[in-house]
Structure 1
Amino acid sequence: MRRFSPAAAALLLRRSLAAAAAAASPALRSGPRQLVRASLLDESLSTQTSSAASTMAVQYHQWSSSADGDDDEVLEAFNRDCCTDAGAGVLDDSASTAYVEKLCTSGNLPDAVQILRHLHDRKIHVGLGTFNLVLEQTGEVNNFVLFAKVFRYLLLSKIAPDLTSYTNVAKALQKLDDYELILKFVRQVMEITHDRDPTVMNRIVFTTAKYGQIDKCLIIFEELKKDQRGLDVVTFNTILDMLGKAGRVDQMLQEVKLMDELGHSPDIVTYNTVINCLRRLGRLDQCKIFAREMVERGIDPDLRTYTALIDIFGRAGHITEALEMFDQMKRSHQPSIYVYRALISDLKKAGQFELAQKLSEEMKTSASELLGPEDFKHKFKGRKINKNK
């Protein structure tokens, strides 16, 4: 474990005690400074007077230092402890990382973020693990202003955020009720990533949707529509899937229409998402419309498409069409065990027991070659049949 200089250790202790005292004293919580309304990512921030803003003000006061002069003192202590050449100001990267992590784990989050900014200004970047630690800590204490700054420094470092980074974003947004802060955050991310592909925003939307934050996802999505550099077909597919699973089908269909109008051509994932949603609701006619449109656009159905269509035909009692679709699928794709089971069940419901028995025997005979749960779990689109065998 790295040992800090006496001055640095004393500063850490003093600031920890100050934070504890502020948390314990109602008087100290009663008058947060105007810095609470300071900028998100170093720009002025217009927040509405709300309970969320009030809470953030109290929390900021608890986490902030007791005197502005401490800021210089933080940097001085950091430089004393982490410079390998005090005269030339050469920093030890490993020492800098250890120092930030120590500040973070000791609860001195404003100091940790200040050091991150100091390192960023000197074009020195800590590792992704350190960024994720600070993101996690600032998110846990619900200080979104600090959280947004850390995420900004991560993006500017050109280190690619990972799943942990985006999960931290989703968790932070989950706790945030101030939509203006959310929009400000989105605009900042878009500004930083404007010369890149939409991957960053797509992953933010995906993880936020995964955490069930539908309305916040839609707010982000509406903002992305204003400047289409931040969205693509993947963004639309994520939103369509989220809306479909939430049962907001009419809204999903509206977004499909808008997708085309904005020049983003639907792909196989788009059609599978929409058809599967409509299948769950028993909307056979609309399933057929989208399946026909997909083929007309030159997109070949995959295993998921066939599985959905066979299931909806069978459940609607259209056994002949289901069997025709099944035969068509077998010409190009290895069937899955799900298709067999669905067809067998539908045949039994229709009273066609002999045909159901025949399919059951066929399923058992080819069981080793059928696609199962693991294939779908890994998003396997279906094993194409090698006709040269």
Structure 2
Amino acid sequence: MEVGSRSFGGGAIWWRLDWEVRFGGGSIWRCDLVEVASGLSGEFLAGPFSGSGCAANTKSFSLIEEILEDQKQYKDITDEGFTVRFICLYGKAGMFDHAHKLFDEMPELNCKRTVLSYNALLGTCVNSKNFDKVDGFFRELPGKLSIKPDVVSYNTVIKAFCEMGSLDSALSLLDEMEKEGLRPNLITFNILLDAFYRKLRFLDGDKLWV
């Protein structure tokens, strides 16, 4: 993975070359905007905001917002997969409100919302540690948007419950999945086993093997 820089909005920008984003002038660069900082201030973030030892500051957040907002002028924003990447980037940067705003704006951007962007929003809640918002979105949005949650949706909510210490609520989703005709996968059980064993609830964890 390469690291590079480019002038944008009056300052030098550092990025990890990870995926495509268009900058002013139409050039396409591959980047991960979670690792971005102003060269004018001499600051450089050693890792994603969600990682350890990385202090996010107002200037960095503003810079990320400036870059991502700039992308809305390109037709790619009408592609759900393209927009989902931005939602995820906001989540990794801990900018949940921005991710939620972009999700709400998708119809205005002529971008269809499916279970893909729905799952991205749920994942953003977890990545930004807004665990308390997950259940509300999980219950309310499918009916409003005519979306049917899939295994990824359930796994994300289970992860959120486990992070909050609500293991019984997480476990109850297994029965709900089966009622909805969904089959828990390896990720589902790995999340639950890790949570139960970390809380020393070995008997409950062992029951998952049966």
- Given the alignment of the two structures, is residue 150 of structure 1 paired with residue 33 of structure 2, yes or no? no
Residue in structure 2 matched with residue 247 of structure 1 by the alignment: 129
Alignment of 1:87-236 (within 5 A): 136-138=6-8, 141=11, 150-151=23-24, 153-154=26-27, 164-165=30-31, 167-168=32-33, 171=36, 174-176=60-62, 185=70, 187-189=72-74, 192-193=75-76, 197-224=79-106, 226=108, 229-236=111-118
Residue in structure 2 matched with residue 344 of structure 1 by the alignment: none
Q: Where do 5+ consecutive residues of structure 2 fail to align?
A: 14-20, 38-58
Deviations 1:215-257, CA, capped at 9 Å, x for gaps: 3223322322555724332322232222124332221222212
Check the 8 A contact 2:122/2:157 in 1, yes or no.
yes
Q: Give the structure with the higher percent strand.
A: 2
Check the 8 A contact 2:131/2:164 in 1, yes or no.
no
Tell me the distance in 1 between the aligned counterparts of 2:68 and 2:124.
Answer: 20
Which structure's relative contact order is higher, taking Cα pairs within 8 Å and 6+ residues apart?
A: 2
Deviations 1:98-117, CA, capped at 9 Å, x for gaps: xxxxxxxxxxxxxxxxxxxx
Tell me the distance in 2 between the aligned counterparts of 1:202 and 1:136.
Answer: 24
- Given the alignment of the two structures, is residue 287 of structure 1 paired with residue 173 of structure 2, yes or no? no
Q: Where do 5+ consecutive residues of structure 1 fail to align?
A: 1-131, 155-160, 328-389
Alignment of 1:251-330 (within 5 A): 251-261=133-143, 262-313=145-196, 315=199, 317=201, 319=203, 321-327=204-210
Aligned residue for 2:6, secondary structure, equals helix
User: Under a length normalisation based on structure 1, what TM-score does the superposition of the two structures give?
Assistant: 0.38
Tell me the distance in 1 between the aligned counterparts of 2:34 and 2:201.
Answer: 46
Query: What's the CA shift for 1:270?
Result: 1.5
User: Under a length normalisation based on structure 2, what TM-score does the superposition of the two structures give?
Assistant: 0.64
Q: Give the structure with the higher percent helix.
A: 1
